[in-house]
Amino acid sequence: MGSASVCDAFVATLLEKSRGIIKRAFGVDYRLSSAAPFLQSNPFPAALIDALSGYFYLVKGLGFEPKNIIVEGISAGGHLAISLVRYLNHASIPGLCRPGGLLLISPTGDWGGTHDGLDSSLERNKSFDFVYHFLKSGYSARALLGKLPVERLCQSPWLSPASKEINPFEGNFKMFPKTCVLAGGVEVGLDQIKTLRDRIITDNNPSTLLYLEYPDAIHVFPLIAWHEPEKSEAVAACSIWMKELCEWSLGF
């Protein structure tokens, strides 16, 4: 979510603050889904195929070891990043295993809207966050779904890994790498982010996940220049996490 320039600026700041720990970044220009009133195109899994192609290029084409790769996803990109890791774990492609780390910023995980309701973060925080009407429109959900039955939005862990209609003990997050999740305390998707957090911990262990919630922050706040001090605090925390992740990978 957001323009490429905004996302690039955030990644550039992460690289700078990591002080050489993370030396370079690679962005995947994946296909975007669309639905009425526009031409319907690129439903799931089009973006996942593109993300997998990018990952394949890094590992098989450029020779990067998966343990040295951190996959990052922002907003809807967080959903895509989760899907990529799940696919790598399930497909068992020789030499193409899960990455060394996963960084999720305000990830979207419930396109079926099973967390919605009068007492949900969607309603509690609608006066603070800028994505309320976007989510309520259901546009992204329709675009991802394509020609699949609408009930699949709530039933498929590929489309809605945080859906409350999915058994949390099905093991959908097994074998996840070290994961860092950033969330804003007043973003409308906070409830589903917490569900994602809990399911990653359930299928792995508490040490797998670092969850950082900033009480007065909105959706994708680390990308917003004026959102201080939360933005700087989150970038600093991510840098520390990446340093510890690299040390853990190297066995220090």
pLDDT for 34: 96
CA distance 84 to 248: 22
pLDDT at 4: 58
Query: What pLDDT does residue 118 have?
Result: 92
Q: How confident is the model at residue 229 (pLDDT cuts 50, 70, 90)?
A: very high
Q: Is the pLDDT of residue 130 over 90?
A: yes
Which tokens belong to 111?
A: 């396109």
> pLDDT class for 252, splitting at 50, 70, 90?
very low
> Is the sign of the CA dihedral 81, 84, 85, 86 positive or negative?
positive
CA distance 137 to 122: 13
Taking the mean position of all CA atoms in its chain, how far away is CA 203?
17
Residue that is written with structure tokens 């489309």 in the block? 159
pLDDT number for residue 73: 95
Assess whether pLDDT exceeds 80 at residue 52. yes
Per-residue confidence (pLDDT) for residue 95, from 0 to 100 = 87
Q: Provide mean pLDDT across the span 38-66.
A: 96
pLDDT of 126 strictly over 80: yes
Q: pLDDT confidence of 1, banded at 50, 70, 90?
A: very low
CATH topology of domain 4-249: Rossmann fold (3.40.50)
Across all residues in the chain, what is the average pLDDT?
92
pLDDT exceeds 60 at position 11: yes
pLDDT reported for residue 72: 95
Instruction: Tell me the one-letter amino acid at 172.
Output: N
